[in-house]
Chains A and B, each alone.
Chain A
């Protein structure tokens, strides 16, 4: 291989940074040996590189002294998930406390709301909301698992498999974390930088999902198929909305 044409910026930078494959690098050097113009451009690029590195050095501060043992200990002392759950549980306790105070206040309008919630969760005349397939979303009394994750700029919640009859109730919140709760069944959770994976093979769990309104980009996928997408304030979702404004997203393919 031999470069007959002059080297472009991409090739020159790759040559400088040893990012050309060996045959291409040899060919480029062969061209440089016969082309004064390209040779001058490479020399300029090398000078630019040195100048840029020198300038960036002005920004440096002394590096921290960090031992890997300290980092490992911190990871073991603060595993990724419990702190998020701790904050979630603390938030619920705080909210319940505040609600109790508000309920006790004379003339509080919260009485009716609380009575509604009690009726909803006490097990007898339980209010249920039907999805298009008849799946039930109940209260939070039977939470069997969950996770809270900061969503960042882009975030995908991926259910591993279709779950016949399954449904996820999705609500928008003013919180900062995406929160997923499994109700009445098992599910496995795994989180990565921009993704939450939920294993639902054979599961009968129902799900509640909270998405922060401020999250700019969130997708919910089931077996690779998008069932809800949030782009800024705009939400597109399969399924219907219940009386509380939650999106009832089916976790299985629609009937043909």
Chain B
């Protein structure tokens, strides 16, 4: 039985939208922008009418190109959809002011450590954290796949040490 493009797209969307969003959210620090870019990447994939050989790497590349365009032009081409935040989160009890302050501080310090990494190491770290394969990471970042593990080890080490420096600065 032949699976239609639409069905394959839906399957891909269900499996990868959230992690593409989370990657872009962590990379940009802007959840609304991340949501827009992730959606736009999937919109373009559907408009393409067929799946590329490596759809996950294709989506990352498209999203990254969009991200760079947004950053360089400081304007969004098209704001697709206004999306609400997940309702499940609203069901949690609201954090206390002290909890909020601690969480904000930790986020800022992790963000600072991440921003200190070279762009390639930052992207690689975040992609791997979302479970992307070495093959997809290599394709998306134009790396030699055989050295992804070595570069990842270096990126993790630098990030962890950067975080420790930030936390010690408290």
CA of A51 to CA of B167, assembled, Å: 13
* List of B residues within 8 angstroms of A176 by Cβ: 73
Interface size class, chain B:
35 or more
Task: For residue B35, give the distance in angstroms from its CB to the closest CB of chain A.
Answer: 4
Q: Count how many chain A residues have C-beta atoms less than 8 Å from C-beta atoms of the other chain.
A: 44
Closest to B25 in A: A61
The SS class assigned to the B binding surface is: helix
Cross-chain contact of A71 among B13, B29, B150 (Cβ < 8 A): B13
Cross-chain contact of A63 among B18, B147, B157 (Cβ < 8 A): B18
- Count: A-B pairs, CB below 8 Å: 144
- Asked if A113 is at the interface of the complex by the 8 Å CB criterion, the answer is no
* List of B residues within 8 angstroms of A56 by Cβ: 26, 110, 114, 125-126, 129
Q: Is the CB of A80 within 8 A of B44?
A: yes
Give the residue among A49, A64, A65, A150 with the most B Cβ atoms within 10 A.
A64
CA of A121 to CA of B17, assembled, Å: 50
- Asked if A48 is at the interface of the complex by the 8 Å CB criterion, the answer is yes
Query: Which residues of A from 94 to 113 have beta carbons under 8 Å from B?
Result: none
Residue positions of A touching B, CB distance < 8 A: 8-14, 17, 19, 45, 48-49, 51-53, 55-56, 58-66, 68, 70-72, 74-76, 78-80, 83, 150, 152-153, 176, 192-194
Name 26 A/B residue pairs within 8 A (Cβ), A-sorted: A9-B154, A14-B134, A17-B149, A48-B156, A48-B157, A55-B110, A55-B113, A60-B22, A61-B25, A62-B86, A64-B84, A65-B85, A66-B17, A68-B9, A68-B14, A71-B39, A71-B46, A74-B43, A74-B81, A75-B44, A76-B46, A83-B78, A153-B65, A193-B58, A193-B61, A193-B65
